[in-house]
Structure 1
Amino acid sequence: MTTTRLSRRRIGVTLLAAALASLAPGAAAAAPASQAAAGLQPELNALVEQGTSTAALAEVRDQGRITWRGAAGTADLATGRSAHADGRFRIASVTKTFVSTVTLQLVGEGRIGLDDPIEHYLPGAVPNGAAITVRQLLNHTSGLGNYLDDPKVRDTTEAGNREFLATGRWIEYTPERLLAIGAAMSPYFAPGQGWHYSNTNYVVIGMLIRQVTGNSWREEVENRIIRPLGLHHTTLPTTSTAIPGPHARGYFKLSEGAADVTRLSPTIADAAGAAISTTDDLTRFHAALFSGHLLAPAQLAEMTATVPIPDAPDHAEYGLGVVRYDLSCGQFWGHPGEIPGYSTGLLGTRDGSRQYAISYNEYDKSDRRKSDRLYRAFEEKALCDSPATSG
């Protein structure tokens, strides 16, 4: 669940049997930090000390081993409890990469055709569904309206944040209702004739997974990714408003001070962004995905076939549930995420050799250029100031 503008920071089980030993939790014990990785704490601290976040957690992984992990800030402003690097958080739109992976596994199994119209699978469900393909839903070229652009669902002004705190965060949405809200909006363009980020696309993909498999997208992600990889701290809540396990709390900044927005209904995000995870689980997922342990080469090639994102910084382009970014040292792949109280970044090399994940509870959004600059300083150092600098 990410805003339309994707800046650098916002923005098959049988294949696993022989190759996942190096990705297991026990095999990922922290290696001695390199000189570059050891210097990451000041950049992480800056996200908090310069006023943009209340807490920040991050991890860097290289060749299957953790080279650095850190935390900064306060997990709970009421108690002063410090943030911890193993805390859980809402990953928002990074969920899309999990959901796209399952969809592409189903493509590899011959159960879904990327260029089939969605009408073929969900007759009558999606307006103009005969002209919208599965691929266009996955890469945001469908033109479907983004339900989060409806201010009745999410208004990011202070008044809107107050309304969300009081009532909006408790609303339980069905996928059908989210689709209806997006479909009631005027299309951004004819299918395939532009690009516009829309969470509605992935709500539809979640419905597609259920139609094809008979299981919810959550069950398929659990069975095909979370359990095989042993991602024990990754959860896919249905209606629970809580974050299980240790976690930093999320806040809105209101004129009178901090307002706790940690608890909310995950149904507002559904398959577009409802998952909860840790930095360690996310880097392990990225390593498995881009090392070829979750998708066959043909499907991974489809995932990384991109379309331009208009006006994107760093020449970012969108694939199927992943974003390609150009950093100073090369191209990197991953996805950003943002949901009330939490922002997430997951990025790494195309060959799966190096990745980093970060969660930061962005509190002060008054100067987005400043917070972007601080985030980029961390990202560049995490991925570029090391022996593994290209993807």
Structure 2
Amino acid sequence: MKTQSSPATTETGARIYGVHQRPVIRGKVFRRVAVTALAAALLGGVAVPGVAAADSSTAVPMAAAGQDRPELQKAIQEFVDAGFAGMQLRVHDQRGEWVGSAGVRKLGEAAKPPTNGRFWAGSVTKTFTATLVLQLVAEGKIALDAPVAGYLPELGLDRRITVRMLLQHTSGLFNYTGEYYDDGTVVPGIPATGKEWLDNRFRSYQPEELVRLALAKPARFEPGTDQNYSNTNYTLALLLIEKITSRSYAEEMQRRILRPLDLKGTVVPGNRTELPGPHAHGYYRYEEDGQEKVVDITRQNLSLLAGAGDIVSTTQDLHTFISAVNAGKLLPAPLLAEMRKPYGKYNYGFGLFVQDLGPDCGTVYQHNGSPPHGYGALMYSSPDGSKTLTASVTWVDEATRGPAKDFQMLVDKLVTEVFCGGQPGAADEAKPAQ
């Protein structure tokens, strides 16, 4: 998959989305790449009702009694065979729950990734943020078509920019992690890739600092006239949530989503750089003075993606969350319909990509994510929330994005297996829902 920023990044029909990439459309399928916020895997092996509990040290697959899913184990092993370090996968469908992992937790060790580890979940965060905003809309505290400047006058925003435009990526605001134009022009922002990011990966940022950096740059287009994936939109949404509620984003997340759904493995880390508990490791490889160096980048400060890509979660929690969203447990039906209505060239609703897999497979709602390097997260759901796919993957990253060049193909195949029963070509023939 090609992106404007790096030749080997991937943006799949099984989308991961990135800090510096933007979606591109291939034929009739729009693919999304991963490089936006955080994801690494941490242990939290849990027994599931009606399921054999996995031993967290060996990450043996869990499956319903008597149930064998070799096709799923094969699918995640293919990621490892392609060069990814490790992967954990959780699938809920009509056959029950299956959880498994492949590869290694850490380079040089034999242990597999934990099957319910925590990880930096990247742009999956945007779905959480959009849900918080829409809950405030439901309460009459925010209007979707009201100017954001009316709520945050201190920022000097263009009054044409509405709350809806933030959630749909149609504001035109500069992406503070950098803009990549079709003609090859690059307008840099905060270092979010490569060696420059590596050397600054523990730096702390404040949300308003990120937004003001973006506002100091030229807008990409007039508000509402186009669509461009921008982390700035969701960091602004964070500031909006905090302004309206007089509470921190982390407090509102806990109060409105994490506590009601009992998502004990999900946190807003702020400036914390450690993944709590056992976890899979991500790496970055580069050359310096003629020598190749590999750096463990598991520790990083994701405050550079506040509200846009900074949560820590687990595959279990992402399953519970996305299932609850689509089952209508977090939003009233009219707002859920708005959230899931595809808009623009990316078929983006409010914090969700809408992907039509074809007549035999149906529609899935998803948002994937990844921090600048070494990690990826997947989150997919059927319209009623009864079938989900959640996963985390790690790799040794580099300037050319390492094995991520194969990411699109591998995720398409995995999504086809889970949502289309492995029908050949289903994902390739899919087109964005209209």
Bin for the TM-score computed over the shorter chain:
0.7 to 0.9
| 1:352 aligns to 2:369 (yes or no) | no
Structure 2 residue aligned with 1:214: 246
Residues 54, 257 of structure 1: alpha-carbon distance in 2 compared, 3 angstrom cutoff:
farther
Structure 2 residue aligned with 1:57: 88
| 1:319 aligns to 2:349 (yes or no) | yes
| 1:154 aligns to 2:191 (yes or no) | yes
| 1:200 aligns to 2:236 (yes or no) | no
Residues 9, 145 of structure 1: alpha-carbon distance in 2 compared, 3 angstrom cutoff:
closer
Structure 1 residue aligned with 2:263: 231
Opposite residue 298 of structure 2, the aligned amino acid is T
Length-normalised TM-score, structure 2:
0.78
Question: 1:248 is paired with a residue of what secondary structure?
Answer: coil
Structure 2 residue aligned with 1:185: 217
Opposite residue 263 of structure 2, the aligned amino acid is L
Which structure dedicates a bigger proportion of its chain to helix? 1
Aligned counterpart for 2:161 among listed residues 121, 132, 139? 132
Opposite residue 10 of structure 1, the aligned amino acid is V
Opposite residue 213 of structure 2, the aligned amino acid is I
| 1:102 aligns to 2:132 (yes or no) | yes
Deviation at 1:334? 1.3
CA distance in 1, matches of 2:230, 2:238: 14
Structure 2 residue aligned with 1:267: 303
Pairwise CA RMSD: 2.5
Structure 2 residue aligned with 1:5: 22
CA contact (8 A) 2:396 2:402 kept: no
Opposite residue 319 of structure 1, the aligned amino acid is G
Deviation at 1:367? 6.1
Question: 1:179 is paired with a residue of what secondary structure?
Answer: helix
Opposite residue 42 of structure 1, the aligned amino acid is K
Structure 2 residue aligned with 1:14: none
Within-5 A mapping of 1:270-349: 270-309=306-345, 316-328=346-358, 329-339=361-371, 340-349=373-382
CA contact (8 A) 1:91 1:277 kept: yes
CA contact (8 A) 2:119 2:312 kept: yes
Aligned length: 363
Structure 2 residue aligned with 1:76: 106
Length-normalised TM-score, structure 1:
0.86
Any unmatched runs of 5+ in structure 2? 1-16, 24-29, 35-45, 52-62, 179-186
Structure 1 residue aligned with 2:421: 385
Deviation at 1:285? 0.7
Worse overlay, 139-148 or 255-264: 255-264
CA distance in 2, matches of 1:28, 1:246: 25
Any unmatched runs of 5+ in structure 1? 12-23, 310-315
CA contact (8 A) 1:86 1:280 kept: yes
Worse overlay, 251-260 or 208-217: 251-260
**Percent identity over paired residues:** 37
Deviation at 1:196? 0.2
CA distance in 2, matches of 1:38, 1:32: 14
Deviation at 1:77? 1.1
CA contact (8 A) 1:33 1:67 kept: no
